[in-house]
């Protein structure tokens, strides 16, 4: 956040920089500083151009209300007034087409109202009404969902990757990558932070090297296979796998200065990590390719109670364009069913290849889960793993504020608060609303 200070010293009225500094302070865990930044932006933004300040302040208050002396009410009053002005403007226009800018603003402001009622007043009816209004406006600002595409993609994947697809004796023997897969809001950030607290493991987040090279990997395999001469396949796949590992290492060295916590100060300990964690969750589509390149790499699937997962995904406002499908029941259900079908497929075709980790087991018995995961990773146990929340580390996901609390059980069966409102979604996912048959497959379970 210090990077913004010179700019604000020269131009303290530059609200964009102040709002950005607030977002950075959330990532760094400085909630009091973030609240101060966002509140000052809301106070001084006479043109109401910075709805991000409302969203940011709501995130701070949700995580730690004591970080702000004002609390929720002053911001909520301003948000309600602004909603009234924007909706009045929409009613007065003669243009029948949606106003994307206003729709985006209303989407964010109503979502702030949702958080206020969800966290502060605990009025679930008012919260759901605000969330529904938020997504009604969001639907006017995004591209329509391509219904059926995910099923088609899943069917194609499962048709190709079947028993006999994987030639024996190919791939790198490296165990350097650890892949975390699963549905969004399933507890993957918690698992990554636990792993990253081990001195020989580095979490690289969702900036996936493997995923970034996947098109090249796929095209090269197809090129060799179609050509008929597969004698080069083993050497090419091993070379591509080695390339992924090399890029993981070089990217980490570039970003961190080759220290585990990003400390580049003179005399900082230089280390050589044994494992890198790739947390591109949608790699559940690509387990076949992962297995081909890295037959010995650990693949961890984080699985959370389905309705808790779905509610958590639905109620979180992700960055525009990132996970828009989560805001609407039909698309959310389609994506969730595709995910579950793929996990079942890999379990059937590659029995035991995926190591399942139940989120509920993580929060109820973290020591056993952590020790089991470290053992599966082929590393020695280290007690620092259990103090993951104490490690100074920038966490830039929507789980930022949660993972800093350590382990807590509040989110188990959280969907029961909105059970009535979630019934249409439960009907859409059908039998997939249960995960009873999937158990944690770690030592100790």
Distance, in Å, from the CA atom of 404 to the CA atom of 410, rounded to the nearest integer, reads: 14
The rounded distance, in Å, linking the Cα atoms of 157 and 290 is 13
pLDDT at position 345 is 96
Is the distance from CB of 389 to CB of 204 less than 8 angstroms? no
| pLDDT value of residue 260 | 46
Query: Per 3-state DSSP, what percentage of the chain is helix, strand, and coil (rounded to 5)?
Result: 60, 5, 35
Q: Which two tokens stand for residue 126?
A: 């008012």
Q: In the prediction, which pLDDT does 265 show?
A: 41
Give 317-362 pLDDT, tens digit per residue. Answer: 888 787 999 999 999 999 999 999 999 999 999 999 999 999 999 9
Residue 64 backbone phi and psi in degrees, to 5:
-155, 90
Q: What is the mean pLDDT of residues 134-160?
A: 91
Please give the Cα distance from 398 to 132 (Å, whole number): 20
pLDDT value, residue 353: 96
Confidence of residue 436 (pLDDT cuts 50, 70, 90): confident
Rounded Cα distance, 168 and 311, in Å: 42
For residue range 202-261, list pLDDT tens digits in order.
Answer: 988 777 888 888 888 888 887 877 765 667 788 888 899 999 999 988 888 876 665 444
Distance CA 258, CA 249 (A): 9
Nearest CA-CA partner of 361 in 313, 407, 326, 322: 407
Residue 98 has pLDDT above 80, yes or no: no
User: Is pLDDT larger for residue 368 or for residue 18?
Assistant: 368
198 pLDDT more than 70: yes
Q: In Å, how far are 403, 414, 415 from 410, measured between CA atoms?
A: 13, 7, 11
Q: Mean pLDDT highest for which of 191-200, 206-215, 382-391?
A: 191-200
CA distance 318 to 429: 22
Give, rounded to a whole angstrom, the gap between the first and last alpha carbons of the chain: 43
Q: What is the pTM of this model?
A: 0.88
Residue 262: the pLDDT is 46
The reported pLDDT for the residue numbered 274 is 92
- Give the per-residue pLDDT at 401: 54
Residue 268 is predicted with a pLDDT of 44
Predicted pLDDT at 61: 95
Reported as a pLDDT band with limits 50, 70 and 90, residue 402 is: low
Mean pLDDT of the chain: 87
Q: How many Cβ atoms from other residues are within 10 Å of residue 209's Cβ? A: 22
Spatial distance between the Cα atoms of 398 and 348, rounded to a whole number of angstroms? 32
Domains of the chain: 3-140 (1.25.40), 149-208+271-437 (3.40.50.300)
Q: Which residues, at least 6 apart from 300, have a Cβ–Cβ distance to it below 8 Å?
A: 178, 179, 180, 181, 191, 354, 355, 357, 373
Please give the Cα distance from 331 to 378 (Å, whole number). 39
Q: Band of the pLDDT at 12, cuts 50, 70, 90?
A: low
Look at 85-94, 245-254, 327-336, 393-402 and tell me which has the smallest mean pLDDT: 393-402
């Amino acid at each position: 956040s210090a990077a913004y200070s010179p700019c604000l010293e020269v131009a303290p009225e530059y609200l964009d920089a102040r709002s950005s500094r607030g977002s950075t302070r959330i990532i760094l865990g400085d909630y009091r500083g973030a609240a101060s930044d966002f509140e000052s932006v809301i106070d001084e933004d006479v043109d109401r151009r910075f709805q991000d300040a409302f969203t940011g302040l709501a995130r701070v208050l949700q995580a730690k209300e004591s970080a702000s002396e004002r609390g929720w009410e002053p911001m909520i009053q301003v948000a309600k007034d602004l909603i009234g002005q924007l909706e009045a403007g929409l009613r007065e226009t003669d243009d029948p087409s949606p106003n994307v800018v206003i729709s985006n603003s209303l989407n964010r402001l109503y979502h702030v109202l949702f958080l206020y009622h969800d966290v502060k007043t605990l009025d679930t009816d008012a919260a759901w009404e605000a969330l529904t209004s938020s997504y009604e406006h969001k639907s006017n600002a995004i591209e329509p969902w391509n219904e059926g595409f995910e099923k088609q993609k899943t069917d194609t994947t499962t048709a190709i990757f079947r028993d006999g697809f994987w030639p024996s004796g190919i791939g790198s023997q490296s165990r350097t990558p650890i892949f975390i897969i699963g549905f969004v809001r399933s507890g993957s950030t918690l698992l990554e932070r636990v792993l990253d607290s081990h001195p020989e493991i580095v979490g690289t987040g969702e900036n996936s090297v493997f995923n970034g090279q996947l098109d090249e990997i796929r095209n090269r395999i197809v090129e060799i296979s179609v050509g008929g001469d597969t004698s080069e396949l083993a050497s090419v796949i091993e070379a591509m796998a080695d390339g992924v590992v090399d890029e993981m290492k070089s990217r980490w060295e570039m970003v961190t200065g080759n220290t585990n916590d990003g400390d580049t100060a003179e005399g900082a300990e230089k280390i050589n990590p044994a494992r890198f964690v790739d947390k591109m969750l949608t790699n559940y589509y690509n387990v076949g390719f992962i297995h081909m390149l890295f037959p010995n790499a650990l693949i961890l699937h984080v699985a959370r109670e389905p309705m808790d997962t779905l509610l958590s995904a639905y109620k979180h406002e992700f960055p525009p364009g990132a996970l828009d499908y989560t805001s609407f029941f039909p698309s959310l259900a389609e994506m969730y069913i595709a995910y579950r079908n793929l996990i079942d497929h890999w379990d059937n075709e590659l029995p035991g290849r995926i190591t399942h980790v139940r989120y509920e087991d993580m929060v109820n018995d973290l020591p056993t889960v952590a020790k089991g995961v470290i053992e599966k990773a082929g590393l020695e146990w280290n007690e620092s793993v259990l103090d993951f929340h104490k490690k100074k580390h920038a966490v830039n996901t929507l789980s930022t504020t949660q993972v800093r609390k350590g382990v807590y059980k509040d989110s188990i069966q959280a969907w029961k608060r909105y059970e009535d409102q979630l019934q249409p979604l439960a009907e859409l996912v059908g039998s997939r609303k249960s995960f009873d048959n999937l158990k944690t497959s770690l030592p100790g379970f």
